[in-house]
Amino acid sequence: MIGRLNHVAIAVSDLTSASALYRNALGARVTAPMALPEHGVTVVFVELPNSKIELLEPLGAASPIAAFLAKNPSGGMHHICYEVDDILDASARLKAGGARVLGDGTPKIGAHGKPVLFLHPKDFNGTLIELEQV
Ligand code: CO
């Protein structure tokens, strides 16, 4: 059901310095910051030849990554994103198998303008999984 790895996301407390670290120390191409109020984050993408790294900074008081950063003040790996062809079909199959889809279970529009949803980390080996329809 899942296809390519779309991105790995890292939560950071300071997006400007994290972007500079990837740009300068690692010599990577980094996109301009993009605010996603519906997701409570500001993101940039580090563009790699075979995938992307998403750097996430909290946006707003109710950011879903605030608690994660409180526990991991220097930042850390937050989620991985797999591509799927049909997100509603994927969601239905996962729910039928007992997996928990986060939120109200309805896909939201993600950072690439495509529908995404998240699966509970306790159902997937302690890893928060994002599915993105491509
Ligand atoms: Co993501």
9-20 pLDDT tens trace: 999 999 999 999
What spacing in Å lies between the alpha carbon of 112 and ligand 1's midpoint? 9
The structural domain count of the chain equals 1
What spacing in Å lies between the alpha carbon of 3 and ligand 1's midpoint? 15
- How far apart are the C-alpha atoms of 41 and 34, rounded to whole Å? 9
In terms of C-beta density within 10 A (0-12 exposed, 13-18 middle, 19 or more buried), how is residue 78 classed? buried
- How far apart are the C-alpha atoms of 9 and 90, rounded to whole Å? 21
Tens of each residue's pLDDT in the chain, 134 residues: 999 999 999 999 999 999 999 999 999 999 999 999 988 999 999 999 999 999 999 999 889 999 999 999 999 999 999 999 999 999 999 999 999 999 888 899 988 899 999 999 999 999 999 999 99
The CATH number of whichever domain residue 28 belongs to comes to 3.10.180.10
- Host domain of residue 72: 2-133
pLDDT of residue 82: 98
pTM > 0.85: yes or no: yes
What spacing in Å lies between the alpha carbon of 130 and ligand 1's midpoint? 6
pLDDT digits (tens, 9 = 90+) for 28-53: 999 999 999 988 999 999 999 999 99
47 is an active site residue: no
Q: State the catalytic residue, choosing from 38, 54, 57, 130.
A: 130
What spacing in Å lies between the alpha carbon of 25 and ligand 1's midpoint? 23
